[in-house]
Amino acid sequence: MASRAKKVTFGALILFAVGALYALFVTLTHKGVPCVFNLATGLKCPGCGVSRMCLALIKFDFAAAFHANAAIFCLLPLMAATAGRLIYVYIRYGALRDKASEIAVWIMIAVLLVFGVVRNII
C-alpha cells in the first residue's frame, strides 16, 4: 500500500510540474498548444479553452474561467471527486477501476459531447 501511495504522489508531482511549466510557458510567450480539431474543422471541441480556463483559475478569475470552457469548469468538482475516489481505490485495494468512477466518467463524457455540439450551434 505504501508503494502505491508513493507512486500516486510521484505522479501528482510530475503532473503538477508539467502543468506549472506549461502555464509559465503560455504566460511568457502567449502561445499555447493549438486544438487540432479546431484547426481541421473550424469548430470548437469540448476541450477548447481549457488552457485559458486553467490560467484564469490560477488567477482566481472564475468568471473568465467559466467563459473559457463552461462545461469543464462546471464538471471540475465531479472530476476532482472521481479522481480522488480512483486514487483512494488504487492505494487501498490496488484496483485501477471502480464502478462508481466509471459511471461518473461516462456521465462526464456525455455532458462534454452535448456541450461540444451545443457550443458550435449557438
Residues 4/86, Cβ–Cβ less than 8 Å? no
Residue 1 has pLDDT above 80, yes or no: no
Give pLDDT tens digits for 106-120.
Answer: 999 999 999 999 999
- Angle (CA) 104-122-38 rounded to 5° is 75
Give pLDDT tens digits for 46-82.
Answer: 999 999 999 999 999 999 999 999 999 999 999 999 9
**Stated pTM of the model:** 0.87
Domain ranges for the chain: 2-121
